[in-house]
């Protein structure tokens, strides 16, 4: 239940809630020789010539900065990097600088949490694989942190609780769909389970209607190591499945280390990975905007 409550804030809040607090520091940091700042005009003749062209009453005019604003339809000034720089870009870079600082502040650890049970982690961008061999079987879990944060509906604040809701930082939790492949020794095909974290458990659950921590959506046999899902393989959908068979599947996975404990650890790992990738994205974006 607590988990459900903690997710009751939209993902978008991440960008919108933190910027104001740290804004002054970043503004100070970015006041130094920015590529398109008016002070750099003296060392960049070409840029200065643009200034001259744009100016209506000479370079000494007090209205000079205005010429670079979007009001006059000249949103950007070219610089040596080959890109454009606008006041908007400058504000954007400042915002990103603040955001990166804030995100690093709330990052629990720079290293990813370890999964118990001897799972080996392999990363490829946003895709993660957890591999474990046990008694001749190889179990591989694959998940991708992209789009793994469920969209949450803004819950209406109860009167009198508004203040409290503002004080509490929303917790962002990554709950990716994950695929479990179980390959037996000598078998051509792996038994593949398409699993997910049901929405009502992680997001909007109210009352006592709660789902399992994770659920199996589909089961099929797939050729070993094939990257592409073979659509011609029979795929068992659990929506209309005999529940006894479903329970046997769940027990089968639990015997191979894929149980509720695993699922909770997977959420922790995925959340940490998603946050790390988010920070990396912000840093890349910041560099891109600043053309460093």
CA distance 171 to 2: 11
Size of the site for another protein (CB under 8 A): 19
Please identify, among the stretches 82-90, 92-100, 141-149, 250-258, the one whose residues bind another protein according to the rule CB under 8 A: 250-258
Question: 113 CB contacts (<8 Å, ≥6 apart)?
Answer: 265, 268, 269, 272
For residue 3, the SS3 value is helix
Nearest to 17 by CA among 154, 145, 148: 154
Q: Are strands 127-134 and 189-196 parallel, antiparallel or unpaired?
A: unpaired
Beta carbons of 237 and 217 less than 8 angstroms apart: yes
Of residues 163 through 202, those in contact with another protein by CB under 8 A are: 201
- Per CB under 8 A, the list member of 166, 169, 251, 284 interacting with another protein is 251
Mode of pairing for the β-strands spanning 215-223 and 235-237: antiparallel
Torsion of CA 198, 200, 204, 205, to 10 degrees: -150
Residue 204 backbone dihedrals phi, psi, to 5 degrees: -115, 15
Q: Which of 211, 233, 237, 287 is in the footprint of another protein by CB under 8 A?
A: 211
Q: Of these, 60, 208, 240, 292, which contacts another protein (CB under 8 A)?
A: 208
Q: In 3-state terms, what secondary structure has residue 139? A: strand
Kindly tell me which residue out of 54, 55, 261, 285 binds another protein, with binding defined by CB under 8 A.
261
Give me the 76-115 binding string for another protein, x by CB under 8 A, dash otherwise: ----------------------------------------
Among 84, 106, 165, 254, interactor with another protein by CB under 8 A: 254
Report in angstroms how near the CB of residue 247 gets to another protein at its nearest.
4
What is the rounded CA–CA span in Å between residue 191 and residue 141? 12
Tell me the C-alpha to C-alpha distance, in Å, between residue 23 and each of 5, 12, 29, 37, 134. 29, 18, 10, 19, 52
- Residues 263-292, one symbol each (x = binds another protein by CB under 8 A, - = not), give xx----------------------------
Closer residue to another protein in complex, CB, 194/201: 201
Which span (25-33, 48-56, 114-122, 252-260) binds another protein, by CB under 8 A?
252-260
Q: Which is nearer to another protein, 157 or 255 (CB)?
A: 255
- C-alpha to C-alpha distances, 58 to 44, 48, 116, 272, nearest whole angstrom: 17, 11, 70, 54
Q: How far is the CB of 254 from another protein (least distance, A)?
A: 7
* Residue 120: CB minimum distance to another protein, A: 22
> Contacting another protein (CB under 8 A), which of 25, 260, 280, 287?
260
Contacts of 47-53 with CB under 8 Å at 24 or more apart are 47/77, 47/78, 47/79, 50/77, 50/78
Cβ at position 241, least distance to another protein in Å: 12
Q: Does 212 bind another protein (CB under 8 A)?
A: yes
Binding residues for another protein (CB under 8 A): 1, 201, 208, 210-213, 243-244, 247-248, 250-251, 254, 259-261, 263-264
């Amino acid at each position: 239940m607590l988990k459900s409550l903690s997710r009751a804030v939209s993902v978008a809040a991440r960008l919108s809630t933190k910027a104001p607090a740290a804004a002054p520091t970043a503004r100070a940091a970015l006041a130094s020789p920015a590529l398109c700042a008016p002070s750099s005009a003296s060392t960049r003749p070409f840029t200065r010539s643009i200034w001259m062209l744009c100016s209506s009453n000479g370079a000494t005019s007090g209205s000079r900065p205005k010429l670079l604003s979007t009001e006059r339809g000249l949103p950007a000034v070219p610089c040596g990097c080959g890109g454009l720089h606008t006041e908007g870009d400058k504000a954007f870079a400042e915002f990103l600088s603040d955001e990166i600082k804030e995100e690093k502040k709330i990052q629990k650890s720079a290293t990813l949490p370890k999964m118990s049970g001897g799972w080996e982690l392999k990363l490829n961008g946003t895709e993660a694989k957890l591999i474990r061999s046990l008694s001749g079987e190889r179990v591989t879990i694959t998940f991708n942190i992209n789009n793994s944060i469920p969209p949450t509906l803004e819950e209406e604040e109860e009167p009198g609780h508004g203040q409290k809701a503002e004080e509490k930082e929303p917790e962002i939790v990554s709950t990716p769909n994950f695929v479990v492949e179980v390959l037996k020794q000598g078998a051509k095909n792996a038994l593949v389970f398409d699993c997910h974290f049901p929405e009502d458990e992680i997001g909007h659950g109210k009352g006592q209607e709660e789902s399992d921590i994770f659920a199996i959506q589909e089961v099929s046999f797939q050729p070993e190591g094939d990257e592409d899902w073979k659509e011609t393989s029979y795929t068992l959908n659990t929506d209309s499945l005999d529940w006894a068979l479903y329970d046997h599947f769940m027990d089968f996975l639990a015997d191979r280390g894929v149980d509720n404990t695993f699922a909770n650890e997977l959420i922790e790992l995925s959340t940490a990975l998603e946050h790390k990738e988010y920070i990396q994205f912000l840093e890349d974006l910041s560099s891109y905007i600043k053309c460093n």
